[in-house]
Structure 1
């Protein structure tokens, strides 16, 4: 699999103020993928403009609620409180799961471990383990790098581990910031979308294989394990939209589920969910 990396800042593809522009906002995990989708879509459909921006799943959902986005990219399901907000405003919404993602736990390549079990992951990110001597021969304080609390990835990891993150955990703006921080901190650990872990981009870092109890340690880069659902930290990537806007956004949604869209998803380090 080949991975593609772009800096996750506000990105715009063929943007205009025309009301016909499809505005996509939200998940940092999905933003690079969405940009590539929008670029190829516009190449094949030059009459339809698509703008892309990140900021986190929470921001995308809030933008959809307030009418500032046509599509909200979200790496998590809607919260009950968000569902109630849409209902209270009489906004009927629908969703599409168009790709699947795996979460990678990464450390410096100097770290003297290659695998980690879920119990130790929980104890590290909750702050119970504060020094690497708890699981390695290193006597170094652990630095935790995670996402801000408006991130779908933050919510997903928190819920999957059934923890509250340690107070001292660093809250980074995106996957790229976590990767760059870990390149200069050999005592750190962080979590990122596997699609961001590049052969060139992640030089100096190590992707840990993960296991639970006595199960086999699995890498988030293992395509067969992801396809079979064996990896413990994999999730669908969602796009939410107002039902009333479906005719406007349908061409773009259809493209994402096409063979062309599947190729982009795979090249970006994710896994396509093909339209049935």
Structure 2
């Protein structure tokens, strides 16, 4: 497990990140012969790229965008056939479902998802282009001083169902040796991709208790667990890596959420990190996507605690 160096990026609760180049706009100069033959006319060029969706994937795209802008600043430095306009990359988080909706509404270029794309979504997105960037998992995590750790570090799927459904309301209902303290269940908001993954992998047709604390982002969910010794929630594998020592991930059915177990599928609560677009990418969008999918992009994904797809 790796810790992301720029820790502050990982605790953003609301993303409305506008990343722009610092130089002044310049009049596009004529590129060297042969380099601009296939470039679109400058007046059709869009210097701005937008991303919307998963709060788990948002800081990853933001970090890659920051590096991209710091390296190039203006588009002509990315490709001599592009105009000398400031690079602007906007990343906003509202959940995986919101990302798909924004793509369909035409209010964003790319949707960010921390789950599989549903068949009905794929049918609605005309000529969809999908890019799998990495793998995440939902770890069942608790505070380091949670009472359960005094007796076990493993929960069965059936025990998880009873805890998250509210059949077990107090820790001593799980095990009589535990204190009579209320179990504080923390989940993502019901529109988030994480909740859909957890519902499918663990709960099935059983619904999560109505009074569970719903968090607007994965960062907010993790913060709730860190501040409450009696809390339990499904924390992103990446967020656990970013908060080593502050969270303790439990085994599920005897399987530890390690990188190997997530990749080979033995740890069952996993999910892809996906970017989706409607239609073909423009040259400038493709240039940035090339960086996201490069070794440098994979290194950032890994540094932030996720498992990159290489």
TM-score bucket (shorter structure): 0.7 to 0.9
The CA deviation at 1:3 is 2.4
SS at match of 1:145: strand
* TM-score after normalising by structure 1: 0.86
Q: Which aligned runs of 4 or more in structure 1 are off by greater than 4 angstroms?
A: none
Match of 1:14 in 2: 19
Equivalent residue for 1:226?
A: 262
Which deviates the most, 116-125 or 22-31? 116-125
Q: Secondary structure at the match of 2:15?
A: coil
- 1:12 positional shift: 1.8
C-alpha RMSD of the superposition = 2.1
Partner in structure 2 of residue 108 of structure 1: 143
1:207 corresponds, among 249, 252, 256, to 249
Query: 1:250 Cα shift?
Result: 1.4
Q: Conserved in 2, the CA contact under 8 Å of 1:8 and 1:31?
A: no
Match in the other structure for 1:240: 276
- Specify which of 60, 65, 82 is matched with residue 33 of structure 1: 60
The structure with the largest alpha-carbon Rg is: 2
Q: Any gaps of 5 or more consecutive residues in structure 1?
A: none
Distance 1:229 1:2 in 2: 20
CA displacement at 1:101 relative to structure 2: 0.5
Output the CA distance in 2 between the equivalents of 1:81 and 1:126: 28
Unmatched runs of 5 consecutive residues or more in structure 2 = 5-9, 22-44, 76-86
Matches for 1:1-276 after TM superposition, within 5 Å: 1-4=1-4, 5-15=10-20, 19-46=46-73, 47=75, 48-86=87-125, 91-111=126-146, 112-113=148-149, 114-136=153-175, 137-138=177-178, 139-161=180-202, 162=204, 163-198=206-241, 201=243, 203-211=245-253, 216-218=254-256, 220=257, 222-274=258-310
